[in-house]
Structure 1
Amino acid sequence: MYDIAVIGSGPAGASAAIFAAKSGKKTLVIDNDQGVTRRAWVKNHYGVEDIKGPDLVEVGNKQAAAFGAEYVRDKAVEIAKSEEGFIIHSENGSYPAKHVILATGFLTDLAEKSGIKTAPGTEPRVKTIIQVDSSGKTNIDGIWAAGTCAGVSVHTIITAGDGAKVAINVISEMNGERYVDHDVL
């Protein structure tokens, strides 16, 4: 049983996975390698002068893996409630998790199929978003959403920050106290 399963490994998903794994939570990332950042050229990301989207995604995923996040290259097709949390069914397997963070970019079909409330998108090319509260919670307890699919602006630096925020909120809820991750030189 995973503590946290993240669906999507773009900036929001990888950032959530970094924080989740670094906090000691057993973390799984399920990704189908179809994210929009993989087609981007990023010149406006703080701290990075110029990077190709695929390279930004690769670096973020390596960071999460270095902290212990496990990666599965697969497409999640359903999220079902279980006694201890959820079972994420994919095209090639099933994965149990206590909490799920959706970071699916422009795609909300998995959320809609799983009974998560959506709304019309507000940005160009974003047709639908997942309804979340300020902490990233959806209408289903234990399922969260981060990044573009949760209505956050499509820019990588903003979605990465939102993924981190949502992961910190999940970790804090699991720990029963506010989680802070701050390394010191």
Structure 2
Amino acid sequence: MYDVVIIGGGPAGQSAALFTSKAGKATLIIDDAKGLTQKAWVRNHYGVDDVAGGDLVKVGHQQAAKFGTEFVKAKVKNIIQSGEGFTIETEEGENYQAQQVILATGANQKLAQDIGLETKDGQEPYVKTVIVVDAEGRTSLKGIWAAGTAGGVSVHTIVTSGDGARVAINLLSELEGKRYVDHDVLDKKK
């Protein structure tokens, strides 16, 4: 069983995975590689020169993998509450178990609606529906969180990646029972 399964491998999902994996949580990203970022030309992402969205996603994948994130290319068709966690079913016939789930599904909220999460109208162009979340990123179903555009923030990659990190930190804080902080220190001896 995974501690965290993240559905969606764009900037929000991979940023969340960086934090959960680095914190030692067994993390899986399930992604169908059809996100909007794959088609973007990104010229406004802090710390990154102009970059094709697919290349930005590739770097995020490498960063998350470095900390142990696992990846599966698949389309999730259902999430079922089971015991203390969830069973995530894919169209490819595989099932995965998770204690916590983060939906980072971008502009597509069909899965969220199919499993009964509360949604509302989106504010961004091309984003018709978003998942209703509280201030920490929790959805209407305990144990399922939403990050990035799925959770109602701007479609810009810098914003969605920051929101993925924010939601992951809040999830980790809840699991640990205290505020989670991750700051590495530069070793000045090197």
Please tell me the TM-score bracket, short chain as reference. over 0.9
Please give the alpha-carbon distance, in whole angstroms, between the structure 1 residues aligned to 2:117 and 2:79. Answer: 10
1:173 corresponds to: 174
Larger Rg: 2
In 2: Cα distance, 1:86 partner to 1:124 partner: 32
Which residue in 2 is equivalent to 1:163?
A: 164
- In the alignment, structure 2 segments of 5+ residues that lack a partner are none
Say yes or no: does 1:104 pair with 2:105.
yes
Q: Which amino acid aligns with 1:178?
A: R
- 2:131: which partner in 1? 130
Which amino acid letter does the alignment assign opposite residue 78 of structure 2? Answer: E
Does residue 18 of the first structure (1) align with residue 18 of the second (2)?
A: yes
Other-structure match for 1:75: 75
Q: CA deviation at 1:22?
A: 0.4
Query: Are 1:49 and 2:54 counterparts?
Result: no
Deviation at 1:7, TM superposition (A): 0.2
What per-residue deviation string (whole Å, max 9, x for no partner) do you get for residues 26-71 of structure 1? 0000000100000001010001121110000000011001100000
Give, in whole Å, the separation in 2 of the partners of 1:118 and 1:166: 18
Distance in structure 1 (CA, Å) of the matches to 2:114 and 2:34: 19
CA distance in 2, matches of 1:164, 1:123: 21
AA of the residue aligned to 2:164: G
1:176 Cα deviation (Å)? 1.1
In structure 2, the partner of 1:184 is: 185
Q: Higher mean Cα deviation, 151-160 or 172-181?
A: 172-181
Stretches of structure 1 that go unaligned for 5 or more consecutive residues are: none
Alpha-carbon distance in 2 for matches of 1:62, 1:91 = 25
The offset of 1:84, in angstroms, is 2.0
Partner of 1:152: 153
Choose 3-12 or 171-180, whichever is displaced more: 171-180
3-state SS of 1:97 partner:
strand
Structure 1 position 177, deviation (Å): 1.1
Shift of 1:175: 1.1
**Partner secondary structure for residue 126 of structure 1:** coil
User: Per-residue displacement from partner, 1:58-106 (whole Å, max 9, x unpaired)?
Assistant: 0001100110000000000101000021000001200000000000000
Aligned residues: 185
CA distance in 2, matches of 1:150, 1:27: 20
Q: Match for 1:24: what amino acid?
A: G
3-state SS in 2 of match to 1:49: coil
TM-score (norm 2): 0.96
Give secondary structure in 1 for the equivalent of 2:120: strand
SS in 1 for 2:78: strand
Q: Which residue of structure 1 aligns with residue 117 of structure 2?
A: 116
TM-score by length of 1: 0.99
**CA shift at 1:164, angstroms?**
0.3
Partner letter of residue 158 of structure 2?
A: I
Identity of aligned residues (%): 59
- Structure-1 separation of matches of 2:166 and 2:77: 25
Structure 1 residue ranges, 4+ long, deviating more than 2 angstroms after superposition: none
